[in-house]
Amino acid sequence: MRTIVVTGGGAGIGRAVAMQCAARGDRVAALDIDGASAAQAAADALAAGADAALGLECDVSREECVARAFAEIGQKLGPLYGAFANAGMDASGLIHELPAERWQRVIDTNLTGVFLTCKYALQQLLAGGKPGSIVCTSSPAATVSFAAGAAGAYSASKGGISALVRCMAIDYARYGIRVNAVVPGATETKLMWANVEPPDRPAIRQKICEEVPLGRLAAPEEPARAVVWLLSDESSYVTGSHLVCDGGILAKASISV
C-alpha cells in the first residue's frame, strides 16, 4: 500500500485528492491548518476505502509543524510514497499599497510551505531508498498575470513554486523521485472566492464562465484526477512537468475578439 501526504487536505482540491487516493486503497495523511477539517477528511478517507488515514493540524509555513507531522506520519502510516504540496492562500493588493506583512504571509504559506513539505517528504523518500512522486500546486498566475490585477504576491509565490519544481525534478531524478506541478484554473473552492465579496460572486462567476474556453469552473475532482495520475506509476516517465488543467485559459489570447 502507498502512503500519500496531502497538505491543504481538508478542503478543495487537496480533499478531492485525498478521497481519490483513498478510493485506490492508499494510506492517506490529510494535513490542514484547520485541524477539524483534516480530521474529517481522514474519517471520510477511511470510509472511501483508505487502508489507513490520519488527519493532522499543520501550519505549513512553520518548519516545526511540518517536521512533527511527517514524523508522526512515518510512525503511523509507514514509508512514504508520495506527497501533494498543495496548501495555499491568497491575499490581494497592489504592490505599492501591499503591507509587507501580507506579502510575507502569502510567500510563507504558498512558497515556503511547499519548500518545507517537499523537504521533509524528500528526506523520507531518500531514507526509504525507493522511487516516489511529489506534486506541487502551481497556477496559471505563475505564467501570466490575472486580468483582475492586484495578485502580485500570489503570482510571485506560484512562479517560485514552478521554478522549484523544475530544480527538484533534476536534483532527485537520479533517486527515482519524480517532481511535477499541477496547474489548476478557476476551480470551485473556498480559495477561488477568497478576495470576492459574496454579493459580487454571481457576476464574477458569470464573467469567468464567459472567459474560460470550456465555459465553466472546474469541480475540485477534475484537477484532483490529474494530481492522482502524477502520483501514480501511470506517469512513471513524467518529471519536471506542469500538467495544466485550466479549461483552456493559457491557450487563449488575452484579447477576446
- Answer yes or no: 154 catalytic: yes
**105 close to 89: Cβ distance less than 8 angstroms:** yes
**87 close to 32: Cβ distance less than 8 angstroms:** yes
CA dist 25 and 28 (Å) reads 9
Q: How many CA atoms within 13 Å lie on the side-chain side of 224?
A: 23
**What is the chain's alpha carbon radius of gyration, rounded to the nearest angstrom?**
18
What is the Cα 144 distance to its own chain's centre? 19
Cα 78 to Cα 3, 13, 173, distances in angstroms: 7, 24, 23
Candidate list 81, 120, 154, 172, residue with the active-site label = 154
| Cβ burial 157-176 (10 Å sphere, 16+ → b, else e) | bbbbbbebbbebbeebeeee
Could you tell me which of 208, 3, 195, 210 has the C-alpha nearest to residue 94?
A: 195
Could you tell me which of 64, 59, 55, 62 has the C-alpha nearest to residue 36?
A: 55
Could you tell me which of 20, 73, 79, 10 has the C-alpha nearest to residue 49?
A: 20
Which residue's C-alpha cell is 496548501?
87
**175 close to 126: Cβ distance less than 8 angstroms:** yes
Q: Show which residues are catalytic.
A: 154
